[in-house]
Structure 1
Amino acid sequence: MKKTLLAGFIGFVLVGCVSDIKYNYVPEVTQKSYPDLNVVTTTYIGDDMVRQGNIKTMDVISFPVTTQVNRFWSAYIIDAGDYPKLGEDKKYLFFAAKSVNGNATVKSVNVPATPIGIRVSKDSSKNEVCISFTTGTDFCEAHKQFTYKKVSVTNQDGFQQTLIYNGMVGSKINIGYREFNNDMARPAFSNNAEYDLSRSRMIRYKGTVIEVLQATNQHIKYKVISNFNTSH
């Protein structure tokens, strides 16, 4: 009888608020190239000379310290970190249960339900934070410390290209080309090319044009005239 009453009470506690997480937010994705065009740059052997990929800029909720959301004898712990936005509706903002870098998460203490997100009211008067469950219920507590901001990260789901300086032998420099997709190297799209600087100080590869100012077996000084994504 006691167990039945306890289970019923736990169900009552968890079903206090119900809301479906919205997944209607789309981060801004822009193409970013390194280095800037026509700027003298020095790169050392084994490092990227030219790099191009996608940068994802997203809204996050940021918890500066570890935050505990309590309800009777149960609790959720939100690690300090930045949690990306998932979506919103007229009343609420919804954020992921794992931080942008994946090092911080929402953890449960004496709660059987799995955390799947963070819900925050657009009415900021109470600073209420709610933890959303797989059951569609929420676990809330007011007067929590958090802020909203934007963060930019390399989009690991995108296509990236790099040129790598591999050193110099005689008058020839060796440049490595690598493509990455979903943050994994694609061996079939990797290549090395040699350029004889005694014949030309301008080198070209897949739309990239580089003027070599100085080269040794340790470093290279150069200017990028056009990048992979530069219009021609």
Structure 2
Amino acid sequence: MGWSVPTFSKLALISMIMMLSACGPVLRPIPPEITKVTVPEIGSLQTRDIGVPLIEQGQKHIYEALIPSKDMKTNRPLHNGYLTYEGEMIAKMNTDGKKWYCGRMVYVSTDGDREFTGNWCENVHDLEKKWNMPKGTYEIKMVSHIYLNNFQMNLIYTGKRGNEVYITYREFKNEWSRPSFTQNLIFDLSESRVIGMKGARIEVIEATNTNIKYKILSGFIVN
């Protein structure tokens, strides 16, 4: 048995959802587990064009989330469309220690247009009771996302001549380059195919006039 509503305008529907969302429980985020990471990951084989950073720094956030299935998304049909959760629903907690899962509720019209309607929070019991959804229609698991740091140390491939490759080392904060922390480097691959600076080490597999293929051996040492 799916969820349905009377026929009325999309604007009225969106307004109703926004008001209901505002009346929900007061929730606090569950802090994610955070670890420092090198981007791309150490040991990975990569290819980058000239001018694109070869290595960056970030943080991996690991947290609990509810992943809706396709059946769960399409089980709430509306007039001329349906409601769906946009991606994963992040776990949060209320003052009584009850766990909820919150995500973006989106209206999808029959022609495929998507319109964001608001944040919506559910606990697992309510999901099964209100939508008549068996557990097979969603999955609760630990997920992760990587966010780049505001302060970055980059190595950028800028070209080659013979056995020499040209690399620019750059530091910047909040997307603003710091010219005094930019340095142009030349590495001779006939001496070693491992290049790097400040702890970062990259093995050059192949370098051409347009791109470089490489393997990340270690990340920058950040003070």
Q: What is the TM-score normalised by the length of structure 2?
A: 0.59
Letter in 2 for 1:166: T
Picking from 118, 122, 134, the partner of 2:121 is 118
The whole-number CA distance in structure 2 between the counterparts of 1:32 and 1:162 is 14
The whole-number CA distance in structure 2 between the counterparts of 1:42 and 1:92 is 40
1:194 has 2:201 as partner = no
Q: Residue deviations 1:124-149, cap 9 Å, x none? A: 8x713xxxxxxxxxxxx241343322
Cα deviation, residue 29, structure 1? 1.9
Letter in 2 for 1:127: E
For 1:31, what is the secondary structure of its paired residue? strand
Letter in 2 for 1:197: D
What is the correspondence of 1:12-161 to structure 2 with a 5 Å cutoff?
19-33=24-38, 34-37=40-43, 41=45, 43-46=47-50, 47-65=52-70, 66-67=73-74, 77-79=83-85, 81-88=87-94, 89-96=96-103, 98=104, 105-107=105-107, 115-121=118-124, 123=125, 127-128=128-129, 141-144=130-133, 145-156=137-148, 159-161=151-153
Greater CA radius of gyration, 1 or 2? Answer: 1
Judge conservation of contact 1:43–1:221 (CA < 8 Å) in 2: yes
Change in 2 beyond 3 A, CA 1:42/1:81: closer
- Residue 11 of structure 1 aligns with which residue? none
The whole-number CA distance in structure 2 between the counterparts of 1:92 and 1:211 is 46
Judge conservation of contact 2:83–2:106 (CA < 8 Å) in 1: yes
- Residue 169 of structure 1 aligns with which residue? 161
Change in 2 beyond 3 A, CA 1:207/1:150: same
Cα deviation, residue 194, structure 1? 2.4
Cα deviation, residue 214, structure 1? 5.0
Cα deviation, residue 196, structure 1? 3.9
For 1:90, what is the secondary structure of its paired residue? coil
Q: What is the TM-score normalised by the length of structure 1?
A: 0.58
Judge conservation of contact 2:34–2:62 (CA < 8 Å) in 1: yes
For 2:62, what is the secondary structure of its paired residue? strand
For 1:49, what is the secondary structure of its paired residue? coil
Change in 2 beyond 3 A, CA 1:45/1:167: farther
Q: Where in structure 2 are there 5+ consecutive unaligned residues? A: 1-18, 109-116
The whole-number CA distance in structure 1 between the counterparts of 2:172 and 2:84 is 33
Judge conservation of contact 1:42–1:219 (CA < 8 Å) in 2: no
Letter in 1 for 2:146: T
What root-mean-square deviation, in Å, do the aligned CA atoms of Structure 1 and Structure 2 show? 4.2
The whole-number CA distance in structure 2 between the counterparts of 1:51 and 1:83 is 28
Judge conservation of contact 1:213–1:223 (CA < 8 Å) in 2: yes
- Residue 228 of structure 1 aligns with which residue? 220
- Residue 199 of structure 2 aligns with which residue? 207
Cα deviation, residue 68, structure 1? 6.1
Superposition misfits of 4+ residues, deviation over 6 angstroms: none
Change in 2 beyond 3 A, CA 1:77/1:167: same
Judge conservation of contact 2:165–2:189 (CA < 8 Å) in 1: no
